[in-house]
């Protein structure tokens, strides 16, 4: 084991180091594993696996400091935090201060049972978070008055974009126009501009509140977008424009504030087809922009057009109600370039929190909060009038816009001096928003800033400043779950009850290939909820967020160094958005060079479906490149496709190491061929965990990549989000990476940007290539990745890669005699994951990949990735964080399962009555009634002695997928359904 010059003792062997806590296998365990594979050291193993041509060069000086201890890292994070100032935000614009109920903070946000879980693709062991998500869906569906809501979007801005794209798919209009309300959030308008341009949609911006729809004020359009209430706070009745747009064949998309919807008519009641927005103010801290759960709901008939994940109700093998992800064939992993969206990871943890906020407060509590907010807004409107300002609209919920007569700066400054942040709209106008946290003391202080000289009576009763015809009279949140858990005891137990149903990293290994379910260390999580990181508005002034900006810039520098690129943007909120941002950068580069015809994106057939879906959203045309029988890119086909599309070649998207878990030998030549033809190389960084410290994308040919901080860099999966998908690029693409109209500081992109290379757009377009609603995406979780890199140092990161590759090769060697390992690279080695081929077993015994995956539950494991990238296989990624005991336990389970399959083949058990086909077994299924199966009860639930000690009981048996897809139910079923 060699080490970096920066540390004398290799971190792995120094138990005071964080690396020795992060990496599960110590020196003795690694020795034993290496012996099994036949290598002397981990370093030699990785060097035999990684082609020498791409090996990282030694850097003269590194920006990464030597590893810090956990205590030191927290002290440094504290210094960053101390440079932030948490003033009281009245900025609004889609982000509001909120009170996270402490019972939710402690039992969800800070509870590994929730934050270390994976996306619920194995529904039998995910019933807890599936119920939490169906609560969220029911909440959104009820409040918006629309039939079906999905299980979250990435943020409000991207949800509006998805609404626009949905409208284009579903509309019968021939028009290419999407009408946008001028009173929409500024970040939403920037996102719409960027995304519409890429796919050839024409935006027409109109002040819809003033347009007379009856007199033909609307141009022909496939859709219309209304912000409700308006960005300025104005409440008006959009039902007439909605109806006019729909009569012309358009689809109406309304972005609505969920808290306001407890008081005012729902989008559904106004005729909207689609509602979108954010659930941030339902108990999720602002966090300088994220993460928060966006939402989308649609009317009946549009369910199949929904992007993202959707939870539905089905039944299990015993006929009991059970939850699962439904209508999955809409999604990018199946439909590829024809998917409804490229979104995959969403914001599950935050959606769970928002849904639980509604469970905790109930309909009455939410309404009480909303009434308090709007009465306090009224108080401040009166104070402003009294102070000599003009309130622009007399109809509002929480936001007041003032006309100040060229005095906007002065008012904003005075507010700041009093500790409050207001939003300057322009020289004449200022707006401010009231939220759940605005207190009586705040009202008095703000009234003083506004120049008011007296106090106003507290308001009660119906808020008369909301037009009576706009007041909501319909019910919402009537399901018992929203009306039961009022006491903290009940709430705490409900959260525990749900968490206990699920399998997360706090129970055992989750060996999901391509998902990198490594440790999310407690120290890394520590700073996330510090007020100096959690309590900041994304558009707070630069002076308030210096610590954040410094941390972000340092992290960008580190990520650029380890990937071999020049610049990094942390804005994309998920890998899918990082892909899109990278492809849009390639598109921008080609356009700036006059190469408008370069629109073809080559994607190997082995690629993740998201690649293809993202390419389409970047305005590109997907051409598939074949793979050979070893799982590598077919070089002949690649050269043929490059030749065929020469002048039209925009990019190649390639994953490295490949989705087959192999270090492709020819990657350098592949990149070169694309460059020679004038194309750009996009290296998908999903598998970076197999490369860090040994090779760099930017050195072997990549022009741009996205990384998944929620894979390689320890941000927890949260049960399906949050994610962070930074995009890293070479200098020539830097001008086209995501910027933001409201960013506090020009990013490192601007420094690299040479205006002379571009035709007169030195500051870039107005939208600045934005792909997220907030300038820095989801900053409040960036301290996790910062802490990981800070505590590992470059030597530790390299050790982690070695341990991950060692673990995967150990699994491959140990299981090779029982299940063929499908692909391998140089010297017969795999990278950080291996594919176990079950197809011969299925052919010989009838035992399917599903049977094995579900049987692993009975043995106490989460299944590996099923049927990706090859149907009928399991892809295993142990990661560096698992210790040898756990890895051996998994291997032992797989070998035992193989023996069970052999017993089926030998005729010991019937093909339709054996422990594999019957898996998973619930406690109820082995206790209730007579046991009439061909195999004993003990075999069903305690197949190995080790399981006796630590038994995980799945709450449901195998779930009927077809029943759930054929009988769509996506809201909380009545309690009787579970009797």
Partner 1 sequence: MTDLKYTAEHEWIRADGNELTVGITSYAADKLGEIVYAELPAVGSSVEAGKVVAEIESTKSVGEVFAPVSGTIIEVNDEVVDSPDFINDSPLEKGWLFRVEVADPVILDGDEFLTLDAYNSLIGE
- Smallest separation (angstroms) from partner 1 to the CB of 961: 4
List the structure tokens of 717. Answer: 């999966």
- Smallest separation (angstroms) from partner 1 to the CB of 312: 11
The rounded distance, in Å, linking the Cα atoms of 342 and 608 is: 11
Q: Please tell me whether residue 868 adopts helix, strand or coil conformation.
A: coil
Stretch that binds partner 1, among 156-164, 327-335, 466-474, 550-558 (CB under 8 A): 327-335
- Smallest separation (angstroms) from partner 1 to the CB of 129: 21
Let me know if 737 is exposed, middle or buried by CB neighbors in 10 A (0-12, 13-18, 19+): buried
Strand pairing report for 600-604 and 621-625: parallel
Phi, psi of 262 (to 5 degrees): -75, -15
Stretch that binds partner 1, among 103-111, 470-478, 672-680, 958-966 (CB under 8 A): 958-966
Q: What Rg do the C-alpha atoms of the chain give, in angstroms?
A: 28
Give the nearer residue to partner 1 in terms of CB position, either 40 or 912. Answer: 912
Footprint of partner 1 on residues 302-321 (CB under 8 A)? 304
CA atoms in the 13 A half-sphere facing the CB of 349: 28
Let me know if 612 is exposed, middle or buried by CB neighbors in 10 A (0-12, 13-18, 19+): buried
Q: Binding of partner 1 at residue 965 (CB under 8 A)?
A: yes
- Smallest separation (angstroms) from partner 1 to the CB of 335: 6
- Smallest separation (angstroms) from partner 1 to the CB of 327: 8
Q: Binding of partner 1 at residue 961 (CB under 8 A)?
A: yes
Q: Binding of partner 1 at residue 966 (CB under 8 A)?
A: yes
Give the nearer residue to partner 1 in terms of CB position, either 463 or 964. Answer: 964
- Smallest separation (angstroms) from partner 1 to the CB of 499: 28
List the structure tokens of 657. Answer: 């190491």
- Smallest separation (angstroms) from partner 1 to the CB of 963: 9
Phi, psi of 713 (to 5 degrees): -115, 30
Q: Binding of partner 1 at residue 593 (CB under 8 A)?
A: no
Give the nearer residue to partner 1 in terms of CB position, either 304 or 745. Answer: 304
- Smallest separation (angstroms) from partner 1 to the CB of 766: 38
Give the nearer residue to partner 1 in terms of CB position, either 313 or 806. Answer: 313
Stretch that binds partner 1, among 427-435, 753-761, 816-824, 962-970 (CB under 8 A): 962-970
From 335, 413, 486, 675, residue interacting with partner 1 (rule: CB under 8 A): 335
Give the nearer residue to partner 1 in terms of CB position, either 169 or 763. Answer: 169
Stretch that binds partner 1, among 292-300, 691-699, 741-749, 959-967 (CB under 8 A): 959-967
Q: Binding of partner 1 at residue 428 (CB under 8 A)?
A: no
Give the nearer residue to partner 1 in terms of CB position, either 314 or 712. Answer: 314
Q: Please tell me whether residue 370 adopts helix, strand or coil conformation.
A: helix
Give the nearer residue to partner 1 in terms of CB position, either 197 or 303. Answer: 303
From 334, 522, 543, 766, residue interacting with partner 1 (rule: CB under 8 A): 334
Q: Where are the alpha helices (DSSP H) in 880-960?
A: 884-905, 923-927, 937-941, 945-949
Looking at residue 96, the DSSP 8-state letter turns out to be: -
Q: What are the DSSP E strand ranges found in 410-546? A: 420-421, 423-424, 429-433
Give the nearer residue to partner 1 in terms of CB position, either 888 or 960. Answer: 960
What is the DSSP code string of 132-150?
HHHHHHHHHHHHHT-SEE-
Give the nearer residue to partner 1 in terms of CB position, either 610 or 705. Answer: 610
- Smallest separation (angstroms) from partner 1 to the CB of 476: 30
Give the nearer residue to partner 1 in terms of CB position, either 846 or 946. Answer: 846
Stretch that binds partner 1, among 162-170, 392-400, 942-950, 960-968 (CB under 8 A): 960-968
- Of 557, 780, 548, 782, the residue nearest 80 (C-alpha): 548
Residue at token pair 């978070």: 129
- Smallest separation (angstroms) from partner 1 to the CB of 162: 20
Phi, psi of 463 (to 5 degrees): -70, 105
Under 8 Å between Cβ of 1 and 43: yes
Give the nearer residue to partner 1 in terms of CB position, either 208 or 847. Answer: 847
The distance in angstroms from the start CA to the end CA of the chain is 58
Q: Binding of partner 1 at residue 962 (CB under 8 A)?
A: yes
- Smallest separation (angstroms) from partner 1 to the CB of 169: 12
Q: Please tell me whether residue 148 adopts helix, strand or coil conformation.
A: strand
- Smallest separation (angstroms) from partner 1 to the CB of 634: 23
- Smallest separation (angstroms) from partner 1 to the CB of 966: 5
Question: How far lies 201's CA from each of 177, 189, 193, 194, 195, in Å?
Answer: 6, 14, 9, 10, 8
Q: Please tell me whether residue 251 adopts helix, strand or coil conformation.
A: strand
Give the nearer residue to partner 1 in terms of CB position, either 328 or 842. Answer: 328
Give the nearer residue to partner 1 in terms of CB position, either 490 or 867. Answer: 867
From 27, 329, 762, 923, residue interacting with partner 1 (rule: CB under 8 A): 329
CA atoms in the 13 A half-sphere facing the CB of 460: 0
Q: What are the DSSP E strand ranges found in 47-143? A: 88-89
- Smallest separation (angstroms) from partner 1 to the CB of 24: 33
Give the nearer residue to partner 1 in terms of CB position, either 62 or 328. Answer: 328
Footprint of partner 1 on residues 286-305 (CB under 8 A)? 304
CA dihedral 843, 848, 852, 854 (to 10 degrees): -170
- Of 454, 234, 348, 352, the residue nearest 719 (C-alpha): 348
- Smallest separation (angstroms) from partner 1 to the CB of 338: 8
Give the nearer residue to partner 1 in terms of CB position, either 621 or 966. Answer: 966
Footprint of partner 1 on residues 505-524 (CB under 8 A)? none
Stretch that binds partner 1, among 326-334, 359-367, 518-526, 886-894 (CB under 8 A): 326-334
Say which residues have a Cβ less than 8 Å from residue 466's Cβ, sequence separation at least 6.
235, 263, 264, 374, 395, 396, 397
Cross-strand partners of 649: 600
Instruction: Taking each helix axis as running N to C, give the angle between helix 27-37 and helix 884-905, from 0 to 180 degrees, rounded to the nearest 10.
Output: 40
Give the nearer residue to partner 1 in terms of CB position, either 119 or 824. Answer: 119
Give the nearer residue to partner 1 in terms of CB position, either 78 or 839. Answer: 839
- Smallest separation (angstroms) from partner 1 to the CB of 692: 33
Contact mark string toward partner 1, 859..888, x via CB under 8 A: --------x---------------------
Q: Binding of partner 1 at residue 328 (CB under 8 A)?
A: yes
The rounded distance, in Å, linking the Cα atoms of 414 and 151 is: 42
Footprint of partner 1 on residues 722-741 (CB under 8 A)? none
Q: Please tell me whether residue 859 adopts helix, strand or coil conformation.
A: coil
CA dihedral 768, 769, 774, 778 (to 10 degrees): -130
Under 8 Å between Cβ of 970 and 310: yes
Q: Please tell me whether residue 62 adopts helix, strand or coil conformation.
A: coil
- Smallest separation (angstroms) from partner 1 to the CB of 334: 6
Q: Binding of partner 1 at residue 826 (CB under 8 A)?
A: no
Kindly list the residues in this chain that would bind partner 1 in the complex (CB under 8 A): 304, 328-329, 334-335, 867, 961-962, 965-966
């Amino acid at each position: 084991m060699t080490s970096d010059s920066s540390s004398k003792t290799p971190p792995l062997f120094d138990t005071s180091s964080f690396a020795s806590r992060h990496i599960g296998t110590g020196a003795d365990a690694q020795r034993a594993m290496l012996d099994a594979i036949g290598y002397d050291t981990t370093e030699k193993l990785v060097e035999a696996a990684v082609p020498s041509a791409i090996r990282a060069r030694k850097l003269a000086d590194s920006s990464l400091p030597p590893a810090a201890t956990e205590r030191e890292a927290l002290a440094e994070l504290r210094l960053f935090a101390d440079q932030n100032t948490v003033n009281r935000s009245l900025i609004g614009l889609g982000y509001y201060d909120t009170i996270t109920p402490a019972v939710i903070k402690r039992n969800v946000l800070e509870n590994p049972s929730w934050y270390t879980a994976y996306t619920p693709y194995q529904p039998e062991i995910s019933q807890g978070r599936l119920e939490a998500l169906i609560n969220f869906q029911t909440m959104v569906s009820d409040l918006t008055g629309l039939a079906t809501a999905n299980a979250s979007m990435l943020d409000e801005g991207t949800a509006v974009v998805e609404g626009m794209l949905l409208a284009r798919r579903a509309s019968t209009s021939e028009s290419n126009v999407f009408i946008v309300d001028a009173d929409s959030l500024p970040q939403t308008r920037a996102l719409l501009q960027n995304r519409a341009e890429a796919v050839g949609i024409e935006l027409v911006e109109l002040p819809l509140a003033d347009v007379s729809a009856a007199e033909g004020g609307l141009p022909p359009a496939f859709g219309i977008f209304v912000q409700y209430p308006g960005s300025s706070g104005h409440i008006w009745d959009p039902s007439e424009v909605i109806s006019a747009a729909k009569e012309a064949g358009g689809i109406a998309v309304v972005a609505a504030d969920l808290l306001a919807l407890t008081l005012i008519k729902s989008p559904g009641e106004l005729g909207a087809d689609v509602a979108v927005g954010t659930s941030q103010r339902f108990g999720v801290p602002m966090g300088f922009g994220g993460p928060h759960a966006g939402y989308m709901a649609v009317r009946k008939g549009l369910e199949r057009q929904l992007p993202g994940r959707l939870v539905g109700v089905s039944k299990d093998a015993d006929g009991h109600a059970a939850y699962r992800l439904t209508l999955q064939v809409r999604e990018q992993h199946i439909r590829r370039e024809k998917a409804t969206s490229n979104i995959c990871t969403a914001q599950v943890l935050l959606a769970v929190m928002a849904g639980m906020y509604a469970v905790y407060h109930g309909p009455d509590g939410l309404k009480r909060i909303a009434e308090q907010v709007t009465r306090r807004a009224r108080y401040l409107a009166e104070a402003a009038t009294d102070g000599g300002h003009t309130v622009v609209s007399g109809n509002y919920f929480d936001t007041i816009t003032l006309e100040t007569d060229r005095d906007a700066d002065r008012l904003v400054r005075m507010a700041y001096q009093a500790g409050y942040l207001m939003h300057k709209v322009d020289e004449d106008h200022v707006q401010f928003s009231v939220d759940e946290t605005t207190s009586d003391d705040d009202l008095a202080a703000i009234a003083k800033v506004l120049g008011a000289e007296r106090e106003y009576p507290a308001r009660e009763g119906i808020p008369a400043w909301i037009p009576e015809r706009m007041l909501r009279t319909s019910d919402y949140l009537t399901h018992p779950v929203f009306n039961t858990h009022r006491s903290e005891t009940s709430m705490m137990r409900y959260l525990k009850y749900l968490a206990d149903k699920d399998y997360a990293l706090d129970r055992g290994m989750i060996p999901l290939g391509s998902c990198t379910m490594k440790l999310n260390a407690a120290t890394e999580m520590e700073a996330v909820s510090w007020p100096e990181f959690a309590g900041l508005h994304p558009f707070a002034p630069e002076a308030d967020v210096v610590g954040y900006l410094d941390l972000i810039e340092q992290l960008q520098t580190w990520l650029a160094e380890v990937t071999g690129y020049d610049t990094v943007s942390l804005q994309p909120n998920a890998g899918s958005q990082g892909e899109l941002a990278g492809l849009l950068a390639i598109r921008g580069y080609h356009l700036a060079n006059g190469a408008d015809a370069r629109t073809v994106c080559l994607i190997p057939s082995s690629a993740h479906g998201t690649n293809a879906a993202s390419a389409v959203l970047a305005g590109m045309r997907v051409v598939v490149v074949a793979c050979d029988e070893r799982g590598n890119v077919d070089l002949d086909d690649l050269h043929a496709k490059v030749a065929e599309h020469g002048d039209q070649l925009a990019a190649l998207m390639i994953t490295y190491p490949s989705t087959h878990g192999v270090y492709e030998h020819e990657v350098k030549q592949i990149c070169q061929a694309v460059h020679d033809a004038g194309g750009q190389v996009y290296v998908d960084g999903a598998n970076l965990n197999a490369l860090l410290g040994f090779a760099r994308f930017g050195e072997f040919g990549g022009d741009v990549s996205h990384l998944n901080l929620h894979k390689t860099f320890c941000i927890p999966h949260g049960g399906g989000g949050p994610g962070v998908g930074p995009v890293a690029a070479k200098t020539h693409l830097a001008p086209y990476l995501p910027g933001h109209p409201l960013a506090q500081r020009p990013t490192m992109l601007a420094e690299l940007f040479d205006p002379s290379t571009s035709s007169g757009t030195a500051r870039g377009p107005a939208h600045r290539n934005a792909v997220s609603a907030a300038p820095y995406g989801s900053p409040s979780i960036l301290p996790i990745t910062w802490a990981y890199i800070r505590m590992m140092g470059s030597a530790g990161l390299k050790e982690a890669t070695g341990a991950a590759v060692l673990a995967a090769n150990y699994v491959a060697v140990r299981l090779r005699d029982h299940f063929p390992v499908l692909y391998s690279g140089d010297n017969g080695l795999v990278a950080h994951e291996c594919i176990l081929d079950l197809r011969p077993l299925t052919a010989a015994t009838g035992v399917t990949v599903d049977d094995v995956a579900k049987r692993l539950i009975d043995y106490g494991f989460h299944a590996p990735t099923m049927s990706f990238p090859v149907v009928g296989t399991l892809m295993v990624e142990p990661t560096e964080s698992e210790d040898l005991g756990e890895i051996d336990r998994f291997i032992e389970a797989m070998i035992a399962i193989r023996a069970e399959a052999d017993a089926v083949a030998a005729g010991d058990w019937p093909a339709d009555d054996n422990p594999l086909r019957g898996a998973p077994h619930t406690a109820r299924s082995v206790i209730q009634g007579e046991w009439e199966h061909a195999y004993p009860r003990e075999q069903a639930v305690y197949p190995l002695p080790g399981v006796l000690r630590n038994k995980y009981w799945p709450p449901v048996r195998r779930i009927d997928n077809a029943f759930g897809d054929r009988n769509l139910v996506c809201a909380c079923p009545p309690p009787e359904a579970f009797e």
